[in-house]
Structure formats: C-alpha cells, structure tokens
C-alpha cells in the first residue's frame, strides 16, 4: 500500500508515521474523548481532547512533551516537546472525516507565520540560544487515522 503524502510549500512530502486503528480501538478512543469533554461539547474542548490524544501518540514514539497550549500575544502552539536534540513545536489538527478536507492542509501560510512568531516568543521567554535546533511538526487526526509529519514547514 502506498503511503499517504501531503503538500508542503508546493512539494510532496511523505508522512513519516501513520497510525491506523481497529474499529474497537477507535470506539474506545472516542468513548474516552466523550468522557473527557462531556455532553457540553465545543470546539475548544474537542481540540483539547484530540491534542491530548496526539500528545500520547508522540510520547509513545519517544517525544518528551514540555508544554501544552502555549499562548503568547502572537498566537498559540498546541504542543511543545523534545525529540532527541530538537525542540519541536507541534500543530494538531482534527477532522471527524475527510469531508471537510485533509486536516494538515489547514496549516496554511498564515497559520505557519503565527506559529513561527509564537515559537520565537517561546524561545526568547525561555532563554534558548538563537541557534537552538528547532523543528515544526504537524499531527493530523482524521477519523481512525493519526498522521505525524516531521518538518512540516521551516522557520
């Protein structure tokens, strides 16, 4: 089976990790998320629940999560973690199905600029060197599938 790909600045890139679950696993994940966000569901609560799912997914693959939902006057970064020597800024996008398009396509140039500005603020605020190795990843969640794209865009 051919691996899915997404567009990155006019180029095609390969999805590095793609996670497919069985029907029972998906049912269990959705039940856990429903319990977490309760009956009064809104976009923010849904986003937080799927960001937690993405954080668990990345942690299971060796990334140490440092911050969730980091906010500055420039914007918000969903997850910040360490993967080897890299400080990684992660944008998480969720779609219930593919009808609304690929979640990774929602990280457009404008969103990338906001993430970059927020990342610069984070680096300054936390006293990182200006030449610290950083990476910008995206995690797309669609129905039963989680896709992790390393180096989704450059800073």
Each residue's pLDDT tens digit, 50-104? 899 999 999 999 999 999 999 999 999 999 999 999 999 999 999 887 777 788 8
CATH at 60: 3.40.1350.10
3-state secondary structure of 75: strand
Q: Is residue 27 part of a domain?
A: yes
Residue 43 belongs to a domain: yes
Give a yes or no: residue 2 inside a domain.
no
* Residue with more model confidence, 7 or 69: 69
For the chain, how many structural domains are there in total?
A: 1
Would you tell me how many other CB atoms lie within 10 Å of the CB of residue 59?
Answer: 13
Whole-model pTM? 0.74
Residue 30 lies in a domain: yes
Instruction: Quickly state the pLDDT bin for 45 (edges 50, 70, 90).
Output: confident
Are the C-beta atoms of residues 145 and 104 closer than 8 Å to each other?
A: no
Residue 117 has pLDDT above 70, yes or no: yes
* Higher per-residue pLDDT: 85 or 42: 85
Give 46 or 114, the one with higher predicted confidence: 114
Write out the residue range of the structural domain in which residue 124 sits: 12-153
Query: DSSP H helical segments within the chain, as ranges?
Result: 23-37, 43-60, 109-125
């Amino acid at each position: 089976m051919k691996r899915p790909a997404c567009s990155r600045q006019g180029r095609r890139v390969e999805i590095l990790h793609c996670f497919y679950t069985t029907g029972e696993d998906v049912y269990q994940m959705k039940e856990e998320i429903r319990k977490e966000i309760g009956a009064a569901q809104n976009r923010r609560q849904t986003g937080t629940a799927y960001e937690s799912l993405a954080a668990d997914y990345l942690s299971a693959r060796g990334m140490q999560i440092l911050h969730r939902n980091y906010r500055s006057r420039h914007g918000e970064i969903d997850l910040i973690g360490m993967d080897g020597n890299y400080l990684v800024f992660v944008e998480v996008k969720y779609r219930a199905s593919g009808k609304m398009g690929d979640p990774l396509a929602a990280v457009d140039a404008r969103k990338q600029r906001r993430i970059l500005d927020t990342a610069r603020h984070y680096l300054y605020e936390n006293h990182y060197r200006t030449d610290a190795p950083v990476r910008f990843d995206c995690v797309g969640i669609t129905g039963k599938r989680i896709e992790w794209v390393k180096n989704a865009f450059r800073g």
